[in-house]
Amino acid sequence: GAVVSQHPSWVICKSGTSVKIECRSLDFQATTMFWYRQFPKQSLMLMATSNEGSKATYEQGVEKDKFLINHASLTLSTLTVTSAHPEDSSFYICSARTGGHTDTQYFGPGTRLTVL
């Protein structure tokens, strides 16, 4: 199957700082990528849909000014958590959509963010 990578795999930061997470589709081009968040013992929650070359679409309740998404190329989307606070600590996961006949989303391994 297609491969999606994320970097970093984990990050610890101080409250008030910003953190950037990268999501790359390694062997296919993805016009659409998605960002999810998962709190302990909960299921994945979609945060936003990222389309290459256009503004991201955020789910209700997700602050677009706090979670900045950039999808500047067909293989890279970034999520920046601005002015992070302890309540932003979570597992952030991206996915990339292949499109075409076998339209499927493949997920990255996730990024564990801990805000102190």
Partner 1 sequence: DAKTTQPPSMDCAEGRAANLPCNHSTISGNEYVYWYRQIHSQGPQYIIHGLKNNETNEMASLIITEDRKSSTLILPHATLRDTAVYYCIVPISGSARQLTFGSGTQLTVLP
Name the residue nearer to partner 1 (CB basis): 12 or 83. Answer: 12
Strand partners, 93: 36
The single residue among 14, 60, 101, 103 that binds partner 1, judged by CB under 8 A, is 103
Name the minimum Å distance from CB 107 to partner 1.
Answer: 4
The CA-based angle 37-107-59, given to 5 degrees, is: 40
CA-to-CA dists, residue 35 to 92, 96, 101, 114, angstroms:
7, 9, 23, 17
Name the residue nearer to partner 1 (CB basis): 6 or 25. Answer: 6
Query: What are the φ and ψ backbone dihedral angles of 61, each rounded to 5 degrees?
Result: 90, -5
Instruction: Give me the residues that bind partner 1 (CB under 8 A), please.
Output: 1, 4, 6, 32, 34, 36, 43-46, 49, 51, 91, 93, 95, 97, 103-110, 112
